[in-house]
Structure 1
Amino acid sequence: MPLHVPPAPAPALRSVLTALSSPTAVREARTPSLLAAQGPLTPELPLPVHVLDATTPEGVTATRLTGWRFLIRSGDRAVAAADTMPTPDGWAFSRFFEGPYIASTERALRQAETLGQPYQARLLSIPGLYMLALWLHGDRTADPAGGHPDAGDLLVPLAPAPPGVAAHRLHRVAELLPVLTHRVRPAQLLRSPAA
């Protein structure tokens, strides 16, 4: 399997499992697909979510880990997602949500599975463009909480993508990030990650 989905920190997974087992948490999430789901709900495919902070003139891109995202599966499909966030005490459940990024993430992961090279799967949020991309990091053994996009890494923009960016098209970081960062004012890069 060329695609490596790194294991999430155990406390992050536990926080999602606890939220899924709480009828109050699921009901208050107001996600119709979770409320209507029949049978067990399973958190799968944990992906570290990094936010793009800045790109230096030398082309080095700074990112920071902002959480882990789990796809929530009911039967044979993902019906929602759950986000966790770091806290001073470890990891905590943040929220459930649904929408187009769920199916788009699954599609991008299937796309990545067909590539002949090994990659570590991550998510990269570019808040100033309201953009989320599957980040295929070339070092499968890297710490999923650290690092930055390398020139040879791949990005797969998720749908909906911003105007002028084709969703589900593979792009080398060296080609796509300079274009994106020129479209975003530096202050916009510091906003919270996209959903």
Structure 2
Amino acid sequence: MPLHIPPAPAPALRSVLTALGSPTAVREARTPSLRAAQGPATPELPLPVHVWDGVSAEGVSATRLTGWRFLIRCGDRAVAAAETMLTPDGWAFSHFFEGPYIASTELALRQAETMSHTYQPRLLSVPGLYMLTLWLHGDCAADAATGHPAAADLLVPLAPAPPGIAAHRPHPAAELLPVLTHRVTRAPLLGSPA
């Protein structure tokens, strides 16, 4: 079934288009593949980026919207991504970047397109584990800027995933979030000095 990609806020898209049209912004970007790209670069597949702040005392996953990410396509492949952020004046371009999450996001989206259920794709960042997942939200009519992972939502860890968590394997949120909670709460103990 097709994914229901939520529309990005118009100012977020405009800020990315402006940055792509600026030779200075592209030249100064730390993305060699974007600087070397031949032909027009277009922003596609806008995904809201939520940061997971753990589980609240009520047992609800706490998330907050931090931006919108666009894959930057040149020809037949994504060569970079552009991130926007919310400022007091509205949505603004933040930065271009590249790396393994670009191809991993594309792969996870292609896999999600083959599923029998329609989802609203989002990105969920787990900073305590240096982890990013494709969050497949089951309510396609929901506001993409709000909400938290529902028990039946799927989380697809992107590569590179933390040790012991398989990349590109869909997990129900009800199963993966307790594992992440356990790992995040244990992480400070593992990294603390003796």
TM-score, normalised relative to structure 1: 0.94
Q: Tell me how far 1:35 sits from its aligned partner.
A: 0.8
What residue is the counterpart of 1:94 in the other structure?
94
Could you say if the C-alpha distance between residues 106 and 87 of structure 1 is closer, same or farther in structure 2, counting changes exceeding 3 Å?
A: same
What residue is the counterpart of 1:63 in the other structure?
63
What residue is the counterpart of 2:108 in the other structure?
108
Q: Answer yes or no: is the 8 Å Cα contact 1:54–1:186 preserved in 2.
A: no
Q: Does 1:85 align with 2:85?
A: yes
Q: Secondary structure at the match of 2:120?
A: strand
Residues 42-66 of structure 1 deviation map (CA, whole Å, 9 limit, x = unaligned): 0000000000012035431010000
Distance 1:89 1:187 in 2: 36
Unaligned runs of 5+ in 1: 189-195
Could you say if the C-alpha distance between residues 47 and 180 of structure 1 is closer, same or farther in structure 2, counting changes exceeding 3 Å?
A: same
Q: Secondary structure at the match of 1:152?
A: coil
Q: Secondary structure at the match of 1:184?
A: helix
Distance 1:91 1:162 in 2: 31
Larger Cα Rg: Structure 1 or Structure 2?
2
Cα-Cα RMSD: 1.4
Q: Does 1:33 align with 2:55?
A: no
What residue is the counterpart of 1:21 in the other structure?
21
Unaligned runs of 5+ in 2: 189-194
- Write the mapping of 1:129-140 to structure 2, written as runs, cut at 5 A: 129-140=129-140
Q: Secondary structure at the match of 2:116?
A: coil
Distance 1:8 1:56 in 2: 28
Distance 1:70 1:186 in 2: 33
Q: Runs of 4+ in structure 1 displaced over 2 angstroms?
A: 56-59, 185-188
Number of aligned residues = 188
Distance 1:134 1:162 in 2: 15
| Percent identity of equivalent pairs | 81
What residue is the counterpart of 2:49 in the other structure?
49
What residue is the counterpart of 2:192 in the other structure?
none
- Write the mapping of 1:180-195 to structure 2, written as runs, cut at 5 A: 180-185=180-185
Q: Tell me how far 1:82 sits from its aligned partner.
A: 0.2
